[in-house]
Amino acid sequence: MRVLLPSRKVDLQMPNKRLVGGIELGGTKSIVAIGYNDGTILERISLPTVVPELLIPQIAAFLQLHREQRGEILALGVGAFGPISLDPNAPNHGKLLETNKPGWSGFDLASALRSATGLIPNIVTDVASAGIAEAHLGALKASELGVYLTVGTGIGGAIIYHGKPLPALLHPEIGHVALQRHSTDTAPSSCRFHTNCAEGLAAGPAIMARFGQSLRHFAPGSAEHDLIADYLGQLCANLVLTLSPQRIILGGGVGQTPGLIDATRAAMLDRLGGYAPDAVAYEQFLCAPHLGQDAGIVGALCIAGHGSAISENLSGGCKSWQL
């Protein structure tokens, strides 16, 4: 099967701003915003990611309130945790697959949002949403091929090529890549699917289960800090060897832990053993998102405003995907 890749980065700069809505559906909290299709946020709200039957009406109420105050919302972009079907031609498009998040497996997110808001949502993964924002407005702007990793309630990753998620059968599940567990680490995996995947060993719930508190309570150089840094370093080393990206961004709540990016970089280089381009050792090769915690919701607004303008055909026109 021949896959047609985007030939250039899509320009998100448009002369006429449009009022749009954005949703960043995270594992612990969800951000809902209205703003412009250039990523400008006008209003936002943070909501706990409870069961969908309770969350969707809260999202719809926020959007309706600001419709009444600011005018018609013209489009809706969504960055959602996964796994989720993103093929618009698939019968289960917009549905969550089996997930670690209670109450969400099999939920038809696209249909629920359309029914509640009257808008057809343009959906990507939450980490792809952040990656799109960074590609056009932040740390991946100068990179043809970059990776956005988020480490928080789970671990997710997006491969961004010319400003867009790389076409795939589903979407990358980088957090479920198997790692080499330390011999002294006997804590059970927090992933119900895998015993040694990155998410099960190094995401927020795994850290809390193993240590009884968040990683911020441990100083850089401590055994606890070094363990998580090594697991994330293994993951980044695997990405360097398989994708050879020009930059890796490490975001998410755990990713903000003081000293963690530097320790992860050191662990990545150790795991690579010198078998990588010199640029991998540069400080900015593995870095924090320039847009910080706003990357996901900014990306959702951009996706809403430009979905129809940045679509690609796959496999000779038999399948399509949109940002």
Q: In terms of pLDDT, which residue wins out, 314 or 260?
A: 260
Homologous superfamily in CATH for domain 142-288 = ATPase, nucleotide binding domain (3.30.420.40)
Asked which of 12-16, 34-38, 112-116, 173-177 is least confident by mean pLDDT, the reply is 12-16
Give CA separation, 71 vs 31, 218, 312, in Å: 20, 48, 31
Cis peptide before 83 (omega within 30 of 0): yes
Nearest to 175 by CA among 251, 261, 87, 277: 251
- Whether residue 134 is predicted with pLDDT greater than 50 in this model: the reply is yes
The pLDDT of residue 168 is: 81
Stretch 56-68: mean pLDDT: 96
- Whether residue 310 is predicted with pLDDT greater than 50 in this model: the reply is no
**Residue 180, SS3?**
coil
Give CA separation, 44 vs 22, 75, 124, 186, 299, in Å: 9, 16, 19, 41, 14
Q: How many other C-beta atoms are found inside a 10 Å radius of the C-beta of residue 59?
A: 23
Q: In terms of pLDDT, which residue wins out, 188 or 4?
A: 188
User: Cα separation of 99 and 182, whole Å?
Assistant: 26
Q: In terms of pLDDT, which residue wins out, 168 or 160?
A: 160
Token pair 């690609």 in the structure block, residue? 312
Q: In terms of pLDDT, which residue wins out, 268 or 27?
A: 268
Stretch 240-253: mean pLDDT: 97
How far from chain centre, in Å, is Cα 132?
9
Tally of helices (H runs) and strands (E runs) in the chain: 8, 12
Asked which of 12-16, 280-284, 299-303 is least confident by mean pLDDT, the reply is 12-16
* Strands 29-36, 41-48: pairing kind: antiparallel
- For residue 121 the two structure tokens come to 């949502």
- Whether residue 320 is predicted with pLDDT greater than 60 in this model: the reply is no
233 pLDDT tier (thresholds 50, 70, 90): very high
Residues of the chain with CATH 3.30.420.40: 19-128+293-322, 142-288
The pLDDT of residue 256 is: 95
Homologous superfamily in CATH for domain 19-128+293-322 = ATPase, nucleotide binding domain (3.30.420.40)
307 pLDDT tier (thresholds 50, 70, 90): low
| pLDDT tens readout for residues 64-123 | 999 999 999 999 999 999 899 998 888 999 999 998 889 999 999 999 999 999 999 999
Nearest to 183 by CA among 140, 227, 153: 227
How far from chain centre, in Å, is Cα 195?
23
Contact between 225 and 263 (Cβ < 8 Å): yes
Nearest to 71 by CA among 31, 43, 105: 43
The pLDDT of residue 5 is: 40
The pLDDT of residue 54 is: 97
Task: Compute the CA torsion angle 285, 289, 291, 294 (nearest 10 deg).
Answer: 160
Partners of 249 in the beta sheet? 148, 287
The pLDDT of residue 6 is: 41
Partners of 75 in the beta sheet? none
| pLDDT tens readout for residues 272-300 | 999 999 999 999 999 999 999 999 999 99
User: Cα separation of 195 and 193, whole Å?
Assistant: 7
